[in-house]
Structure 1
Amino acid sequence: MPNFTQIIEEMKEAQQQGNDNALDTVRKKYIEALSEYTGRNTICYYSSFLKNGQQPNIDITDRDKNYFMATVCGMDSSKGLDLLLHTPGGSVTAAESIVHYLNAIFDGDIRAIVPQISMSAGSILACGCKSIVMGKQSNIGPFDPWIQGLSCHNLLEEFQKASDRIKMAPHEQALWNKIIEKIPPTLLLRCEHAIEMASLIVKKWLTSNMLKDQADKEQNAENIVSLLNNPSHTKDHGRHIHMDDAAEMGLIIEKLEDDQDFQDLVLSVHHSFMITLDNTTISKIVENQIGACMVAQAK
């Protein structure tokens, strides 16, 4: 199968032959080839966050539900779904709603494929599937929630640290009060609820789908959640969790390298999307193997 450079040349050749939609033509060809090889439906969810992480329409939002509704239309749901994910994350509740919708359509027969990166709420999407396909280059990430650009865990930890220091060293009260005054009490409560909600959502999906046949599914799900929703373990919200680490946590991981033809097809699809995003003003694409394609523009 072609590598990144060869796909660029293929697109250039199509343009030279007068194909005004060369990017779309090549991308669709590889999506169709992947779906034909697996015998499964394929939906690709791609964000241009690596090109510009500050542009609009790159995160997971409720708007995406409409994109999935459009791309699911006309599919034979009995064939299951392969969901290719490339996203920085976004709304936890939007991810929950998307997982609920897709699992209802495909009766839980969804396989997440992460060719490169699916972070934060993107990891929640992956955890809602029956398995996650990852290669040596693939990463998921922690899903510890943030509010107003701040880590919920860190806010609660800082407030607790300030409270403890005031008790232990009353002479430092004036210093720590300045920190406490910047944290509205309602924000702390929202943080507690957000952390609890994220954990409950992921544990529910894991026990009802990915881990459902395991005798100790409750404990295994709890362990996964305790690691992915815990900055004390991951240290950074942007921490890249690789294939072997994800499997060690207890997630059901399929190795992309186990099937060379499958790997070539997945990476060809991935490269064609990355080339499209790098050479257009598109910020997000949701596309399937039967020709439906929904896009959001960065401008």
Structure 2
Amino acid sequence: MDASKLIWLFIMVVMMQPVISRRLVDASRKRLLAKIENKRKSRVILLAHRQETMAILGFPLVKFIDINDSEEILRAIHMTDPDVPVDLVLHTPGGLVLASLQIARAIHKHPGKVTVFVPHYAMSGGTLIALAADQIVLSPHAVLGPVDPQVGNFPAASLVKIVKEKPIERTDDETLILADQAEKAIKQIRASVLELLSDKCSPEHAEELATMLTEGRWTHDYAITFEDAKEFGLCVSDQIPEDFMKLMTLYPQPIKQQATVEYLPIRRHSPASKESA
């Protein structure tokens, strides 16, 4: 074999290596998902967002919860028998309120036990989803975050505050409109948090938590630790199974875009339905 053929063979191997590596990681991740499902007798759903990079230009793109994510998760829950537990693994900076609320309401209404596992972080919309679960399991250093809404590029609470403190004649129309939308957004998110917590704590406690998490008490990227969440009275645990931590190692920072929601696309039947069959 002459030198030119060797060079072309080397180029082909180099070009195929990322594809082969990704396929191997995908297969390993599916095997681990199946292992966890068999061990826990549950439906495991993974919602993970990594920073993507455009293939040619190399610009980083931060991914977040969107409508496609909510559609996939709703489909996974629809393919799960009502009494089958759902284990939802969250690794996300948050995202669209609509998509986050769709997911949160779907798992809140699921009759089987729903457990949210947070290996590293689930901020904003991710925390909103976590509040809907029966139990939140964090790794010792994982964090949640406030769910105060953002309007445009501004915190809703700050917009409401500025129009109260600044003379109206010195406030432009756009700011007044944003403040009006911000006030509505805070009320809507607060009502949603109350809805998700209604079956988990007393009405008084739910009111306190909803206000605290939506009023803009902290910056939007404030880290709520396991200790904080426990002090708030949330149903949390720091005993995360090792398999869930290992799962994140099989979800490396990608070079090219890949699916952000993954589950085994088969219906999960409860043991009772199998026995009757």
TM-score after normalising by structure 1: 0.74
Structure 1 residue 19, shift from structure 2 partner:
7.2
RMSD of Structure 2 on Structure 1 (CA): 2.7
Q: How does 1:98-177 map to 2 (within 5 A)?
A: 98-104=103-109, 106-107=110-111, 109-163=113-167, 177=170
Once the two structures are superposed, residues 51-102 of structure 1 have per-residue CA deviations (whole angstroms, 9 ceiling, x without a partner) of 899626x222223232124433543332210111111111222221222233
Structure ID, larger Rg:
2
Structure 1 residue 103, shift from structure 2 partner:
3.5
Indicate yes or no: 2:250 matched with 1:272.
yes
Give 1:127's aligned amino acid. L
Corresponding residue number in structure 1 for 2:186? 195
CA contact (8 A) 1:246 1:253 kept: yes
SS in 1 for 2:224: coil
> Residue 261 of structure 2: which of 278, 286, 290 is its match?
286
SS in 2 for 1:84: strand
Corresponding residue number in structure 1 for 2:213? 228
Q: How does 1:55-94 map to 2 (within 5 A)?
A: 55=61, 58-72=63-77, 74-94=79-99
Once the two structures are superposed, residues 192-242 of structure 1 have per-residue CA deviations (whole angstroms, 9 ceiling, x without a partner) of 11000001001111113xx1xx4xx1111112112211323x2x1001111
Question: What is the number of residues matched between the two proteins?
Answer: 246
Quote the Cα distance in structure 2 between the aligned partners of 1:21 and 1:200. Answer: 43
Give 1:97's aligned amino acid. Q
Structure 1 unaligned runs (5+)? 1-14, 167-172, 293-299
Identity of aligned residues (%): 21
> Residue 37 of structure 2: which of 32, 35, 38 is its match?
35
Distance of aligned partners of 1:59 and 1:81 in 2 relative to their CA distance in 1, 3 Å threshold:
same
Could you list the structure 1 runs, at least 4 aligned residues long, displaced by more than 6 angstroms after superposition. 50-53
Quote the Cα distance in structure 2 between the aligned partners of 1:242 and 1:182. Answer: 39
Report 1 or 2 for greater relative contact order, CA contacts < 8 Å, sequence distance ≥ 6. 1
Distance of aligned partners of 1:284 and 1:150 in 2 relative to their CA distance in 1, 3 Å threshold:
farther
